[in-house]
Amino acid sequence: MEASPRLVVLSGPTAVGKSALALELAERFGAEIVSADSRQVYRGMEIGTAAPSLADRARIPHHLVSYVEPDEAYDVARYQRDADAVLAEIAHRGRPALLVGGSYHYIQAVVERLHLPGVPPQPAIRARLEAEAAAIGAAALHARLAALDPAAAAAILPGNLRRTIRALEVIDVTGRRFSEQSRERGAPRAALRLALTCARAELYRRIDARVEAMLAAGWLDEVRALLARGIDRRYPSMSASGYRELAAHLVGELTLETAVQRTKFSTHAFARRQYAWLRRDAALVWIERGPWMTRRAEELMRAYLEGGDAA
């Protein structure tokens, strides 16, 4: 295993405030930030993915942000390799690292050292499965996975079409159960695992306010530019909440009002799925959003970095 820095994970649902807290913690402890967001990797999608601004990146070193083209194949296996390399560099600089984001499978790949199936993306198979999902529904495709590989289906939420398709894709190519190929793990990384949370109604208000702020910042123009470049709405990069909805508006399929409302609702649903994943991790230390959030996070991080009790 590559050299590893003192590592702190900061996760939680979308819009809960992870990025702002990460900046404060990074400044306080001299840490570098490594994004664990499966959509912030894409270049030209900074507004709609709430990627850190150029000013924030100048303030604190950020890694694995805006470095992949939206039409480029990218998956958790490549992310794991990229993150391993970045963490080794941070370790050599003698600095701690903050792994920040809500993509739980990406965090899991890095911290738990998952052995991921070495099957590259199969565009033809994915296109066929996506067409089937459009015809019969994501739940029916998940049921097919359950019949072929019950363990994989149990580990993938029924609403996570992207991961359902990936599992079926690997099964199709290898003829083996996906769960058998992803069960093995290496020696896990030592890490303090923190997660932010807040009341559901408050989180939904924060999500809705952020959607409106993104639109005011030029999100619609960002989507328009992607379509002008020929970025297909079916690409994985465009599955980030809001992109397909806004693209549908731009091609005349939805009114802007409907597209925005659907974006808010789909982001609420995404946050619920994130909670479902995160609650499976018994090692997470949950921090309630509020006046004492930053102080509590600092206390936990200081105790961990100084070698004390992480919890």
Q: CA–CA separation, 55 vs 52, rounded Å? A: 8
Residue 309 pLDDT exceeds 60: no
Q: Which two tokens stand for residue 76?
A: 């958790």
Tell me the pLDDT band of 310, cut-offs 50, 70 and 90: very low
The CATH number linked to 290 is 3.40.50.300
Residue 61 resides in a domain: yes
Predicted TM-score of the model (pTM): 0.85
State yes or no: pLDDT of 67 exceeds 70.
Answer: yes
Residues in the chain: 311
The CATH number of residue 158's host domain is 1.10.20.140
Q: What is the pLDDT of residues 218-255, one digit of tens each?
A: 999 999 999 999 999 988 899 999 999 999 999 999 99
Establish if 2 belongs to a structural domain. Answer: no
Both 50 and 193 in one domain: the answer is: yes
> Which band of pLDDT confidence, cut at 50, 70 and 90, is reported for residue 306?
very high
| Phi, psi angle pair for 286, to nearest 5° | -85, 140
User: What is the residue range of 218's domain?
Assistant: 201-273
Residues 140, 94 share a domain: no
**Could you give the CA distance from residue 205 to residue 22 in angstroms, rounded to a whole number?**
21
Statement: residue 157 has pLDDT above 80: no
Can you list the positions of beta strands (E) in 59-211?
62-63, 97-100, 191-197
Does any domain span residue 1?
no
Q: What is the pLDDT of residue 155?
A: 79
Please state whether 107 falls in left (phi above 0), alpha (psi between -120 and 50) or beta. Answer: alpha
pLDDT average, residue stretch 67-82: 93
Residue 310 in any domain: the answer is no
Q: Do residue 130 and residue 176 come from a single domain?
A: yes
pLDDT at res. 311: 40
pLDDT in tens, 247-305: 999 999 999 999 999 999 999 999 999 999 999 899 999 999 999 999 999 999 999 99
pLDDT tens column, 198-209: 999 999 999 999
Checking if the pLDDT of 183 tops 70, the result is no
How many domains is the chain partitioned into structurally?
Answer: 3
Please state, in angstroms and as integers, the Cα–Cα distance from residue 264 to each residue in 3, 50, 91, 174, 235, following that order: 41, 14, 39, 38, 21
**Do residues 209 and 152 both lie within one domain?**
no
The answer on 102 and 12 residing in a single domain is yes
Q: Do 47 and 88 fall into the same domain?
A: yes
Average pLDDT over residues 72-97: 94
Domain co-membership, 157 together with 18: no
Does residue 88 sit in the same domain as residue 129? no
Q: Are residues 292 and 235 in the same domain?
A: no
* Spatial CB neighbours of 77, under 8 Å, sequence gap ≥ 6: 109, 116, 117, 118
Spell out the residues 6+ positions from residue 146 whose beta carbon is closer than 8 angstroms to its own: 153, 154
**Shared-domain flag, residues 195 and 67:** yes
Please tell me the chain's helix, strand, coil percentages from 3-state DSSP, rounded to the nearest 5: 55, 10, 35
Q: Look-up: residue for tokens 């089937």? A: 132
CATH of residue 268: 1.10.287.890
CA distance 158 to 273: 10
Q: Do 76 and 158 belong together in one domain? A: no
Provide the pairing of β-strand 285-288 with 191-197.
parallel
Q: What residue type is assigned to position 273 of the chain?
A: R
The residues facing 100 across adjacent strands are 10, 35
Place of tokens 């959003």: 289
Task: Supply the pLDDT for residue 129.
Answer: 85
pLDDT number for residue 249: 98
Q: Tell me: pLDDT of 94 over 90.
A: yes
Q: Is residue 75 part of a domain?
A: yes
Q: What angle do CA 262, 265, 291 make, to 5 degrees?
A: 135
Does residue 32 sit in the same domain as residue 109? yes
- pLDDT for the residue numbered 167: 86
Sign of CA dihedral 60, 7, 47, 66: positive
Mean pLDDT of 89-99: 97
